Amino acid sequence: MGPLWDIACPAQPGRVPGVAMAGFADRGFTPPELRMIPHPAVTVILAFGGTIAVEDATGRRQRGSFAAGPGFGDVLRVRWEKDVECLQVRLSPVVAHAVLGPAAADLDTGVATVDDLWGREAARIGERLAELSSWAQRFSLIEAWLAHRCATAAQVDREVVWAWHRITAGRGLVRIEDLASELGWSRKRLWSRFRAQLGLPPKRAAKLVRFDHAVHRLVAGQHAADVAADSGYTDQSHLHRDVMAFTTLTPATVVHEPFLAIDDVAWGWPSRQLNSRRA
């Protein structure tokens, strides 16, 4: 699926933890409609060339740059017109709270246009991206803007940050009751703070992180039974149900989705993630 796009990545890790970026330019082979696969991050797509629209499972369509929450509930379909260029940003929910403000907590089951989130500033960012001549300049622009937003915004409670990091470090294989106990909080308090600040409850966050690791192992060619056993599912049927719940696809068919197939190039999946686990 690589030939669908020219893909650009930053030359080195950014200075804002919890932020990943990649640039995409349509090579003229992109299907007119693509399915987005849920991911444990807020996804922001900044389009500055061509036209892009996103449609949810209800058929509601929004045009232009947009943000989708972690997991985003319903299946999303992105429609492209020719010569689309866009910069995609993946924000840890912890960072998204600072970048998007209170709106970040409302994105779990939906999509919002960048215009609605950032107002006139969204148009200025799009114009600047179009004016710049290289992806390196575009990455630098967005990173500087994100760093400023993070430095001046209210921060997520440190206990919530700790819980999120425990969930991601454990690949979703954590008990929420144990996290609450370690914090000295009730389960209800953890659920409330986590949901209010990160946009999804902790149990769903753990389920999404586990799904993300499992689906990329499937893309890497691992057998579904081995993936289920390694990822903490009770059996292969349990894995099948989770994949269907997040994507409406089976484990055998989801591996061919373009948004997953290019992850090894754009985001270091699966090779970087699998290697980091072995290290």
Contact present, 71 and 93 (Cβ < 8 Å): no
- Residue 202, classed as helix, strand or coil, is helix
Q: Please determine, for residue 213, whether its predicted confidence score (pLDDT) is greater than 50.
A: yes
Q: Could you tell me the residue range of the domain that residue 55 belongs to?
A: 2-152
- Residue 114, classed as helix, strand or coil, is helix
The reply to whether 23 and 139 lie within a common domain is yes
Q: Please determine, for residue 58, whether its predicted confidence score (pLDDT) is greater than 90.
A: no
Residue range 231-240, pLDDT digits in tens = 999 999 999 9
Q: What is the mean pLDDT of residues 46-62?
A: 81
* Total domains present in the chain: 2
* Residue 133 DSSP class: S
The reply to whether 40 and 139 lie within a common domain is yes
pTM: 0.87
The reply to whether 221 and 136 lie within a common domain is no
Q: Please determine, for residue 274, whether its predicted confidence score (pLDDT) is greater than 60.
A: no
Q: Rounded to the nearest 5°, which phi and psi values hold at 63?
A: -105, 150
Q: Please determine, for residue 206, whether its predicted confidence score (pLDDT) is greater than 80.
A: yes
Confidence band, pLDDT 50/70/90 cuts, at residue 252:
very high
Confidence band, pLDDT 50/70/90 cuts, at residue 13:
confident
Residue range 89-123, pLDDT digits in tens = 999 999 888 888 767 667 765 788 888 888 888 99
Q: Rounded to the nearest 5°, which phi and psi values hold at 44?
A: -115, 125
Using CA atoms, how far apart are residues 87 and 126, in angstroms rounded to an integer? 10
The reply to whether 130 and 7 lie within a common domain is yes
The reply to whether 52 and 72 lie within a common domain is yes
The reply to whether 125 and 243 lie within a common domain is no
The reply to whether 233 and 268 lie within a common domain is yes
The reply to whether 164 and 259 lie within a common domain is yes
* Residue 56 DSSP class: -
Rounded to the nearest integer, the mean pLDDT of the chain is 85
The reply to whether 163 and 147 lie within a common domain is no
The reply to whether 94 and 167 lie within a common domain is no
State the pLDDT at residue 72.
67
The reply to whether 146 and 223 lie within a common domain is no
Q: Give me the long-range contacts of 160-164 (CB less than 8 A, separation at least 24).
A: 160/94, 160/193, 160/194, 160/197, 160/198, 161/94, 163/190, 163/194, 163/202, 164/92, 164/93, 164/94, 164/194, 164/198, 164/205
The reply to whether 134 and 164 lie within a common domain is no
